[in-house]
Amino acid sequence: MDIRQLRHFVSVCEHGSIAAAARLVHVAQPALSRQMTNLEEDLGALLFHRLPRGIALTPPGEMLLIRARETVTAFDRLVADVKKTATGTSGSLRIGVVPNYGWLPIIHTLISSLREKTPDIRIFLEPHLSQEQHRLLQAGELNAGFVAWLPPESGGLLTVPVHEDRFALVMPKHRHDFYGRVPPLAELVTDPFVMFPRRSAPTHFDAIMRIFSNAGLQPNIVQWASDTATVMG
């Protein structure tokens, strides 16, 4: 039994006779009749009674018709899904997003455009810090990612800039002496700082440390927090 036989069996049942089905599936009537006989022999069951004008399904034939329709539909869906996957218009995408940057309009715009162009693709957005995204990308566990930085050993990854950010000095409201102006870092030599650990974002961490170093300042880091939201809090 194969999918072609099942298609022909469904056609015979739906059109009520082997002769009518033969004309529609473009198969000679004797050949189609032999196919049905072979199908019955393979299954060890009489599927329909051959009448002077048409056919009448037996109970096994009625059951096979239900399952054959399901099988043919599933087979056609399988073929269509494979073709869509081969052309990149179906399947699934896992995309990483740095939690602090999930609000960027460019991310919403790109994801919306992708959904519109390829509605059959399932998109999974996963929050990961940049370093973890790099590991998952290299391992093939993410298809793409929106990262804030990449380590020097990120060769083999294609990168496209989508947003430019600037460093900011964030201070408590009670520091009215700095209100309305950005103080030189040298004036902050005695201030306590909250920073993220270097392992969370080595490139960003090193860039900030260079800024302090160029100002002749060793920051007084009194607390560590792994993400911007916690640092701000």
Domain 91-146 sits in CATH at 3.40.190.10
Average pLDDT, the chain: 87
pLDDT tens figures, 28-41: 999 999 999 999 99
pLDDT tens for residues 160-215?
Answer: 988 888 888 888 887 777 777 777 888 888 889 999 898 877 778 888 898 888 88
Beta bridge partners, 49, equal: 56
pLDDT attached to residue 122 = 86
Tell me, what's the pLDDT at 86?
77
Domain with CATH 1.10.10.10 in the chain: 3-86
Sign of CA dihedral 126, 127, 132, 138: positive
Record the pTM.
0.50
Q: What burial class does residue 114 get, using C-beta atoms within 10 Å of its C-beta: 0-12 exposed, 13-18 middle, 19+ buried?
A: middle
Question: What CA dihedral angle connects 140, 146, 152 and 156, to 10 degrees?
Answer: 40
Domain 3-86 coded CATH 1.10.760.10: no
Residue intervals of the chain classified under CATH 3.40.190.10 are 91-146
Q: In what order do the strands lie in the sheet with 121-127?
A: 121-127, 91-97, 144-146
Q: What's the pLDDT at 98? A: 87
pLDDT score for 96: 94
Confidence of residue 90 (pLDDT cuts 50, 70, 90): low
Residues in contact with 211: Cβ distance below 8 Å, sequence separation at least 6, in sequence order: 167, 185
Ranges 56-65, 73-82, 152-161, 169-178, most confident:
56-65
